[in-house]
Amino acid sequence: MATDAPERLTIAAAAALPLISGMNKNFPFAALLVAFTLSACKPERVPGHVPAPVVPAATNAVAPGAFGKILGRWERPDGGYILELKSVDAAGKIAARYFNPSPINVETAAATPEGKALKVFVVLRDVNYPGCTYKLTYDPKSDQLFGQYFQASLQETYEVTFARQQ
């Protein structure tokens, strides 16, 4: 029992020690603060309670191949612009190319699920394409990509559609 004495020291006893020994007036407050803080560090154990397992947060991960519907060569009928979506990884990063009719640098291309829809976002960065973007949605019924094209140098947005090339 004598070896348990330090463990049985209560917060009140810890606060009273400096009063008894004539130490600094602020010591009781500091002792209470330290004791309270340390007591909060130990989780309370409830007999018979099994803690719930830690489950990682849900992600927007899509099953492999779910983006396959958007792969292919797409043409804008209003000018012959070609968007080629070659592959999509599980995180949605697209390997893409763009032609007007010469190749234009694709800085970024990504696919994301939004409800039941598949969204495609493309950033073009090249001569005369200073951060132009496409924000597109795949329509499975018509097998088309539709959405908006932002022409950065003119600061104008246009409604566009891409049809799949055969």
pLDDT tens readout for residues 23-73:
455 545 544 444 444 444 444 555 654 454 443 433 444 444 568 899 999
Number of domains in the chain: 2
Both 20 and 84 in one domain: the answer is no
- pLDDT for 84: 98
Both 92 and 157 in one domain: the answer is yes
- pLDDT for 90: 87
- pLDDT for 151: 97
User: Which structural domain range is residue 92 located in?
Assistant: 66-164
Both 70 and 126 in one domain: the answer is yes
51: in domain:
no
148: in domain:
yes
pLDDT tens readout for residues 82-123:
999 999 998 999 999 999 999 999 999 999 999 889 999 999
pLDDT tens readout for residues 137-162:
999 999 999 999 999 999 999 999 99
Q: Which two tokens stand for residue 76?
A: 């804008």
C-alpha–C-alpha distance, residues 112 and 143, integer Å: 17
Both 87 and 137 in one domain: the answer is yes
**Assessment of whether the complete model's pTM goes beyond 0.75:** no
56: in domain:
no
Both 70 and 134 in one domain: the answer is yes
Q: Quick one: average pLDDT of 9-35?
A: 47
Both 6 and 70 in one domain: the answer is no
